[in-house]
């Protein structure tokens, strides 16, 4: 199931969810039109990942469910998606279980992504007005709260790569709890990244 993307179709929104247990990414979009009954689909990630540019090239795309799968239609061209049977992790329980953040900061996504290059585990020291990485790199931030927290650099980098817009919002509730990474100007895209324990 962890190699699949969950697609939830409803009249008010379409939700896409992916997780590998160390991070969870979720994006919601509002449909232009909706007909039929709500549905849940599990689609292999490898099958759907190559469609992103093709979908983005169209102004409007249509997602149709059918027995055994679904189809994405754009400009008269159709791509079939195979549905997988199984139980997906209860991501709603994870989101509902998050405690209010003690620290919230907005930082430039590109600058933070560049600072992660060449690192394996990175320590963040968040203070009012700035963020230090491993006591070396200092980035300006806007927000509130102070904390020290560690990340696997590759996991956080992947969340930043998938994000949207120039800035990201980090919501930290505790050094041992999932950190929420949101696009600062696109609140419908959310990623949870598990921190790591820092030595010392």
pLDDT single digits (tens) 75-90: 989 998 888 888 888 8
Q: Where are the alpha helices (DSSP H) in 28-152?
A: 45-49, 52-56, 91-96, 109-115
- pLDDT tier for residue 186 given thresholds of 50, 70 and 90: low
Residue 27 is inside which H or E element, if any?
strand 23-29
What per-residue confidence (pLDDT) applies to 173? Answer: 93
**Overall CATH class of domain 4-94:** alpha beta
Dist. CA 5–CA 158, nearest whole Å: 16
Instruction: Give Cβ neighbours of residue 84 (< 8 Å, ≥ 6 apart).
Output: 1, 4, 42, 43, 44
Dihedral pair phi/psi, residue 181, rounded to 5° = -115, 115
Q: Residue 2 pairs with which residues in a beta bridge?
A: none
CATH T-level assignment (fold) for domain 98-193: DNA Polymerase III; Chain A, domain 2 (3.10.150)
The whole-model pTM stands at: 0.80
What per-residue confidence (pLDDT) applies to 96? Answer: 83
What per-residue confidence (pLDDT) applies to 187? Answer: 61
Task: Please tell me if the domain spanning 4-94 has the same topology as the one spanning 98-193.
Answer: yes
Q: Which of 140, 141, 132, 148 is nearest to 197 (CA)?
A: 148
- Mean pLDDT taken over the chain: 90
Which of residues 188 and 30 earns the better pLDDT score? 30
Domain ranges of the chain: 4-94, 98-193
pLDDT, tens digit (0-9, with 9 covering 90-100), for 58-77 = 889 999 998 888 999 999 89
DSSP single-letter state for residue 52: H
Specify whether the backbone of 192 is left (phi greater than 0), alpha (psi in -120 to 50) or beta. beta
Both structure tokens of 19: 């997780």
């Amino acid at each position: 199931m962890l190699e699949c993307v969950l697609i939830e179709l409803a009249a008010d929104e379409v939700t896409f969810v992916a997780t590998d247990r160390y991070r969870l990414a979720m994006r919601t979009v509002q449909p232009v039109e909706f007909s039929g009954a709500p549905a849940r689909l599990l689609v292999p990630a490898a099958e759907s990942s190559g469609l992103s540019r093709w979908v983005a090239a169209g102004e409007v795309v249509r997602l149709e469910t059918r027995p055994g799968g679904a189809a994405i239609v754009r400009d008269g061209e159709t791509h079939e998606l195979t549905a997988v049977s199984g139980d997906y992790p209860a991501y709603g329980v994870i989101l509902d279980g998050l405690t209010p953040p003690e620290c919230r900061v907005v930082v430039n996504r590109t600058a933070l992504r560049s600072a992660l290059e060449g690192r394996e585990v990175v320590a963040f020291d968040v203070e009012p007005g700035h963020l230090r990485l491993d006591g070396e790199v200092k980035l300006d931030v806007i927000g509130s709260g102070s904390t020290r927290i560690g990340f696997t650099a590759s996991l956080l980098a992947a969340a930043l790569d998938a994000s949207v817009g120039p800035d990201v919002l980090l919501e930290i509730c505790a050094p041992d709890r999932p950190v929420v990474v949101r696009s600062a100007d696109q609140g419908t895209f959310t990623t949870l990244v598990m921190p790591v324990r820092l030595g010392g």
